[in-house]
Structure 1
């Protein structure tokens, strides 16, 4: 049992990392009256390195925190030793093996993530949390869920890893009826007391193994989302690992296991009957009947991963009491975010599609299997992942491959083993024309009817600020090509 913290005005909190969540944590703690020390290896004039480049807005936030009384310790060496502290709030990207965090644990100083801090700061009548994690599909599911909640007339918001920090939503003076919370494995690792109203693990595939150390550790952090669930644990029938997580979870008495499937649903499941999304979980006579929620025509597309995401979101919405009509209306109004299987242009019969958000092999494979003939743009930071299974599954669809980034050899080796006849071009430039050269190389291989697909299967930080910057560069290069066509 951890020692309770003193009142906030007697707490010294060290905030590790000055990203979106770090700023939210520092700002909130200052307003609570805590003394706050912010540590980051970067400096405002550092164009890169550390945990990523500073933007002009970061420098503005740093000045604001200093004005509010924060002690900012920035630059190389600032994170080598732990200052005296009652609490450490860490950026979700910081590994548990970072010496400063190891030192905190050895001294018995609690280490929380921003999400854990948000949970502990909720008021008595706080909005319930509907939590979503998994290797892929999290952002789409919470945005679909947000649309369903709002269609039901609720003040609901998608928060967490999707954009709006959870702390910002929790501290909002107007409050919300319900929060759709996207959680990464990093955020869950640094959370220990969250007990969601309902939660879903969408899937489990190797990702972030360089951070977690093993698939088992990665899965264990994902499984934390089910601990203490009050109403429903939503799992993927096609992914037995997610069902086992539910079986192993310590949940509130009466909490139910609810499956979603692309097949015909059994009792306590949501699934597909012909072209209908059907509910056999949240109806009175679920053993002999089903409730229509929507049709495939109500979705942005009928790709398998889109249907699965819609079912998972619907399960969480229904667990919260949302009526079938609002599920349908939410799906009809939903629009996918940028860089997620987005058509950029069609030039001379070739479609150019941006799926820069596919940052692991599992997501890239889902994207590749949605088209018949593809020139695949891939590469970046593999995060310990392998690509053999992806290449074996997708090789008959590959017209050619363009590789970029630090770990392009990992993908090239898999292609040599399992698709040796597929043409491969490596683009090694780090200059501003990188994506222009990539798009031109892909265009030379493509034929009318093909899709040039940016689905890197890797993280982007070796060459770009983030996946959005990588996607933007691709979009701009395609548009320049279109202007010349």
Structure 2
């Protein structure tokens, strides 16, 4: 390990948060001999069950708002869950006391086995798809690899696993990067940057700056040639490789006719290496081809041969709730893109179909939808709006797409989806696509975006089974 396990023996560590990342962090630190106190402001049945498990392992767990107001006395380091805002009382108190505050990814980086490669992916949209494509490519090349991080598997668990992994495909959120200080992946891709989580970061500049931390000194910077913000972030990198949908220049990956090609990781950049065919990319949409090129660039940076890229893409299984076809009913396609929780993701999906009945709405997280509607108005057959911020989307449609019929669904209970789908079906014509691509988060009405997508799919399948449909 890069930071000696003995460094944590006896150390007094406060772990902030009992969500996804907190328990794995606590377990890893306990195994290293640290004195661990876990705190969380929520005192409910779920957290009490998690607390009981960690207490059996030797941790102290404090629940409730009072416990989450300041680090326990004697704390030497705070490891925070990525979702905790910097202005949270406990983290403000830690900063005022001069205590180091790090995130779970930073801890994992310090604990990683010597020689383990890290290939990182961040960006506003496409992260999960890209790291899973990258994992598939690495496995096709015979590497012992795993997709980790914001994709589901804890990075801390991955670096402490035995036997260890040769290489990790690490999905990183802006939150995780904010709480990282020494992280320096072997190669890292910023896929795109569009407004998201502005309420957390306090503005677009701070959000972009957090993403840009992945381009650490010594890291190969993989950037999107079509995204000006990622181009600017990569300009200061010592080494950089671009990817895009055009014919690539030397030092880039791109598309030539129906081929994905590489002019960066070749002996002679005058000649491109064939990596895959467009038909190997699923689902085949422009933004997903860009994801595949980013994954290919990272894999090639790790020494993966060209032929493994195509093999990995063909073996890749697309993630649920991302442009996932559900059914065709009365010659209308129904597509579940519930994972599109911001306008940038929704725009990519909308541009993949020629005529769309758009189902949108939820929590916009401070994002503006005007540009999205203005750019895709010509594709809209109609719109069905739901959720807390639907009025803002309705206003954008009235301004930029006044001829598009809009159905406003006032109900805010999660059982509303059959009504939403029925309204969309009435607006659709043969050849149209009814697209759930909300451009907003789901927590105003649903447990999470998968629950929202599952509700949509169930309503569509019920529609398909309705006599006469």
1:168 equivalent in alignment to 2:157: yes
The answer for the alignment partner of 2:224 in structure 1 is 236
TM-score by length of 2: 0.95
User: Structure 1: how far apart are the matches of 2:27 and 2:410?
Assistant: 41
User: Structure 2: how far apart are the matches of 1:152 and 1:5?
Assistant: 32
Provide structure 2 residue ranges, at least 5 long, that are not aligned to the other structure: none
User: Structure 2: how far apart are the matches of 1:76 and 1:353?
Assistant: 42
Provide structure 1 residue ranges, at least 5 long, that are not aligned to the other structure: 46-53
User: Structure 1: how far apart are the matches of 2:96 and 2:175?
Assistant: 21
Q: Is the 8 A contact 2:150 2:173 kept in 1?
A: yes
The answer for the alignment partner of 2:367 in structure 1 is 385
The answer for the alignment partner of 1:279 in structure 2 is 262
The answer for the alignment partner of 2:70 in structure 1 is 81
Alignment of structure 1 residues 37-436 onto 2, 5 Å: 37-45=37-45, 54=46, 60-84=49-73, 85-125=75-115, 127-230=116-219, 232-249=220-237, 251=238, 256-286=239-269, 288-436=270-418
The answer for the alignment partner of 1:446 in structure 2 is 428
The answer for the alignment partner of 1:50 in structure 2 is none
Cα deviation, residue 60, structure 1: 4.5
1:471 equivalent in alignment to 2:449: no
Cα deviation, residue 41, structure 1: 2.1
409-418 or 362-371, which deviates more = 409-418
- Residues 431 and 384 (structure 1), Cα distance of their counterparts in 2 relative to 1, 3 Å cut: closer
- The alignment partner of 1:441 has SS state of helix
Q: Is the 8 A contact 1:264 1:273 kept in 2?
A: yes
- The alignment partner of 1:335 has SS state of coil
User: Structure 2: how far apart are the matches of 1:432 and 1:386?
Assistant: 24
- The alignment partner of 1:351 has SS state of strand
- Residues 217 and 406 (structure 1), Cα distance of their counterparts in 2 relative to 1, 3 Å cut: same
Cα deviation, residue 225, structure 1: 0.3
User: Structure 1: how far apart are the matches of 2:71 and 2:132?
Assistant: 38
- Residues 272 and 116 (structure 1), Cα distance of their counterparts in 2 relative to 1, 3 Å cut: same
1:483 equivalent in alignment to 2:465: yes
CA deviation vs aligned residue, 1:223-281 (integer Å, no higher than 9, x gap): 00011334x211111112212212234x5xxxx21000100100000011111111101
User: Structure 2: how far apart are the matches of 1:382 and 1:95?
Assistant: 18
User: Structure 2: how far apart are the matches of 1:278 and 1:13?
Assistant: 48
- The alignment partner of 1:226 has SS state of coil
User: Structure 2: how far apart are the matches of 1:264 and 1:169?
Assistant: 37
Cα deviation, residue 20, structure 1: 1.1
131-140 or 300-309, which deviates more = 300-309
Q: Is the 8 A contact 2:283 2:323 kept in 1?
A: no
CA deviation vs aligned residue, 1:312-349 (integer Å, no higher than 9, x gap): 11111111110011011001111111000000111111
Cα deviation, residue 221, structure 1: 0.3
User: Structure 1: how far apart are the matches of 2:211 and 2:156?
Assistant: 20
Q: Is the 8 A contact 2:21 2:81 kept in 1?
A: yes
Task: Name the count of aligned residue pairs.
Answer: 463
Cα deviation, residue 302, structure 1: 3.0
436-445 or 422-431, which deviates more = 422-431
CA deviation vs aligned residue, 1:24-63 (integer Å, no higher than 9, x gap): 1111112112122222222333xxxxxxxx4xxx654332
Q: Is the 8 A contact 1:271 1:277 kept in 2?
A: yes
User: Structure 1: how far apart are the matches of 2:411 and 2:12?
Assistant: 46
TM-score by length of 1: 0.92
The answer for the alignment partner of 2:28 in structure 1 is 28
User: Structure 1: how far apart are the matches of 2:410 and 2:418?
Assistant: 12
User: Structure 2: how far apart are the matches of 1:157 and 1:105?
Assistant: 34
The answer for the alignment partner of 2:14 in structure 1 is 14
- The alignment partner of 2:213 has SS state of helix
CA deviation vs aligned residue, 1:186-206 (integer Å, no higher than 9, x gap): 100000101111111011111
